Structure 1
């Protein structure tokens, strides 16, 4: 199981979403992508979209206004 990191600090929508979608194409079952963002709309939009698509997601605020969104391929 691999884990990939995307630094999207300072990037506005739709850039973080595009970056995570591109990386998800390479994931195998069990792999994860961790996206770090300071744009609240990005983590909310991506989290909702990934859950609809069947990925397992988790979000944590690691600092004031900075979130880490983890998206894991489960199937």
Structure 2
């Protein structure tokens, strides 16, 4: 599983980093994106809808989310 650390990054950086892993996700790999920017949740939702992907999000500590993206 690939882990993308986007702590401190604001949009669109997390989505640009996720875009780089799109082929890997479509090949069945999971990607975990870690962010502390709440707007990223909506951006990931939109990205996943556009690319027919699934995701789960968990606020692991206050203000920090782990988002797991799968095919």
Q: Is it true that 1:12 corresponds to 2:10 in the alignment?
A: yes
Point out where structure 1 has 5 or more consecutive residues left out of the alignment: none
The 8 Å contact of residues 47 and 69 in structure 1, kept in 2 or not, is answered as: no
Q: Is it true that 1:62 corresponds to 2:65 in the alignment?
A: no
The 8 Å contact of residues 15 and 47 in structure 2, kept in 1 or not, is answered as: no
- Taking structure 1 as the reference length, what is the TM-score of the superposition? 0.84
SS at match of 1:12: coil
Provide the aligned length of Structure 1 versus Structure 2. 70
- Taking structure 2 as the reference length, what is the TM-score of the superposition? 0.88
Measure how far apart 1:11 and its partner are. Answer: 0.3
Pairing of 1:1-75 with structure 2 (within 5 A): 3-27=1-25, 28-29=27-28, 31-73=29-71
